[in-house]
Structure 1
Amino acid sequence: MKKIVVTGKTIEDAVKTGLAQWHVSEDRVKIHILEQPSRGFLGFIGSKAAKVELELIPDALEEAIRFLQEIIKTMHISITIDQHKDREGTILNMNGSELGMLIGKRGQTLDALQYLVNIVANRYSNSHFRIILDAENFRERRKRTLEELALRLASRVIKSKKEVILEPMNSQERKIIHAELQGHSVVKTYSKGEEPNRRVVIALK
C-alpha cells in the first residue's frame, strides 16, 4: 500500500496537502490521524501541527493498466493505451507497431491477456469490473469477419441441406455468430460441446 505522512494546522489542512501531492480525491484514501493539533501556551508557544497518514486505496483500472504495461515491457514492445467506456465495460485499446505478438492466432493471446487483466482489476474492485482488451480495433475487425463467415456458411447449409459445425470458439465469438443468424428465415444456430472446445452448429430450421 502507498502511504504518506503529512502535517497541517488542522486535520483538514493536512489531508488536503496529502491529496494535492497525489492528485486524488478524498474517496481514494484512508485517513489515519497520528497527532491532533494543539495551540500551545498563549496560542502559539509549543503549538503542534496536526499529523495524519494517508493510505492510497488502489484503483481497479489503474492497477489493471499497470499490470498490462509490465507484461508488455517484458516483451520489449512499445505501445500506447487508449481507454473508453461502453455498455460492455471499460475498453483498453492498445496501439503500436508490433501488436501481432499481443493478438496471437485469431486473438487467442489477446483473450488470455484480457482474462489476466480482469483478474487483477477485480482484485481491487468491490463490484464486478469488466475490461475488454483490444489491439488497434482487432475485436471489431474480427467481429466483421465472423459475421461474414456466418452468412457464407448459412448459404452453404441452405444449398447442401447439411449442417455445418464451426471450429471451437470462445463464448464472445459464438455470441457473434448466433446474433448474426438469429433472425434468419431458413437456418438456426446452437452450440454443442464443452469448453474450451464448444462449437457453433448452423443447421436448417
Structure 2
Amino acid sequence: MTKVVATGKTIEDAVEQGLSQLGTSRERVNVTVLEQPSKGFLGFIGARKAKVELTILPEPAVDEAKAAESSRLQASPVQLTPEDFPMEKPSALPVAEAVDKIDPYEEAVRFVSETAAGMGLDVEVELRHGKDESVMDISGSDLGVLIGRRGQTLDALQYLTNIVANRHADGFVKIVLDAENFRLRRQKTLENLAERLAAQVARSGKEVMLEPMPPNERKIIHAALQRHPEIRTFSKGDEPNRRVIITKK
C-alpha cells in the first residue's frame, strides 16, 4: 500500500492516522490536505473532520556510476582526498500540495443545508447573486420552525451563514436568507403597519413607539413614511432593543 486517505479532528491527527496505516515516517510521505476541519453550527451540526491523503515517496534511484566507484575503492585501498567525496545538495523535504480554494457561497449553502437537516428538515437551497448582495432561497416543507416568530430564527441563521461565508471570502460577502417568500410578506406587513400607525398619529397628535426591531425592519418603516406630509420617524435605544418612533412633524 503506497497511498492512504485518513481523517482526524485536526490535520495533524489525520496525518498521524495515515502514517500509522502506512507504517512509515513523516519524511517518507507526501501530504495532501483534502478537507479542512470545521466545528459546525452549535459545535456539532455540520461538523467536519480533517481529511488528508498520504502518498509514500519513491525510493531514490541507485547511481550505477557511484556504485561502481564504491566497489573499486573497496577492492583496492588508495589515498583518499576530499574530491573523492563530492558534496551533494540536501534533497528538499516533501511539501504538502496547495489546498483548493473554498468557494464561500458553496460553503454557505452547505452550512444551511446541514443545519436544516440537523433540525429534521429536508430543504432545497437556491442562490441568486445581485449587485450588492446574494439571496439564498430555501424551499421545503414545514419551514415555520426555520423561520421562527417574526423571522427571528431565520435572521439568526442568516447571521451565522454570513460568518461562515466570510471566513472563506477574499472580500466582504453579504447573503440574505429567505424561506417561503417570507421577506416580501414581512415587508408588506410592516409597510401596512407603518401606514396605519401614521394615520393614527396624524389624527391624535400622539407619537407611537414600536416594538424593538432589527435594523432591516426599522429601515422598512422609515422608508415607508419618509415622504409622508405630516409624519416623521426616528430610531431610539440601543441594540437589540432599538425602536422606531412615529411622531408628527
Asked if TM exceeds 0.5, the reply is yes
Letter in 1 for 2:178: D
Give the structure 2 partner of residue 115 of structure 1: 159
Q: Cα distance, 1:194 vs. partner?
A: 0.5
Report Cα offsets for 1:168-200 as digits up to 9, x if no partner: 000000000000101110000000000000000
The equivalent position to 1:178 in structure 2, one of 222, 231, 245, is 222
The equivalent position to 2:114 in structure 1, one of 57, 66, 70, is 70
The two structures have a TM-score, normalised by structure 1, of 0.74
Larger Rg: 2
Letter in 1 for 2:154: L
Give the structure 2 partner of residue 49 of structure 1: none
> Mean alpha-carbon deviation: is it higher for 81-90 or for 111-120?
81-90
Give the structure 2 partner of residue 127 of structure 1: 171
The equivalent position to 2:124 in structure 1, one of 80, 104, 107, is 80
Aligned residues: 159
Moved over 6 A (4+): none
CA contact (8 A) 2:123 2:141 kept: yes
The equivalent position to 1:137 in structure 2, one of 181, 193, 210, is 181
Name the CA distance, whole Å, in 1 between partners of 2:160 and 2:189.
25
Aligned pairs for 1:1-205 within 5 A: 1-2=33-34, 53=97, 55-205=99-249
Q: Cα distance, 1:69 vs. partner?
A: 1.2
- Unaligned stretches of 5+ in structure 2? 1-32, 36-56, 58-95
Name the CA distance, whole Å, in 1 between partners of 2:130 and 2:102.
23
Q: Cα distance, 1:53 vs. partner?
A: 4.2
Q: Cα distance, 1:2 vs. partner?
A: 2.4
CA contact (8 A) 2:209 2:245 kept: yes
CA contact (8 A) 2:194 2:224 kept: yes
Q: Cα distance, 1:87 vs. partner?
A: 3.3
CA contact (8 A) 2:113 2:125 kept: no
- Unaligned stretches of 5+ in structure 1? 4-33, 35-51
Report Cα offsets for 1:64-84 as digits up to 9, x if no partner: 111111111111101111111
Name the CA distance, whole Å, in 2 between partners of 1:190 and 1:69.
38
Q: Cα distance, 1:166 vs. partner?
A: 0.3
Name the CA distance, whole Å, in 2 between partners of 1:93 and 1:147.
22
Please tell me the root mean square deviation across aligned C-alpha atoms, in Å. Answer: 1.8
Q: Cα distance, 1:88 vs. partner?
A: 3.8
Q: Cα distance, 1:126 vs. partner?
A: 1.3
Give the structure 1 partner of residue 7 of structure 2: none
Name the CA distance, whole Å, in 2 between partners of 1:106 and 1:94.
17
3-state SS in 2 of match to 1:189? strand
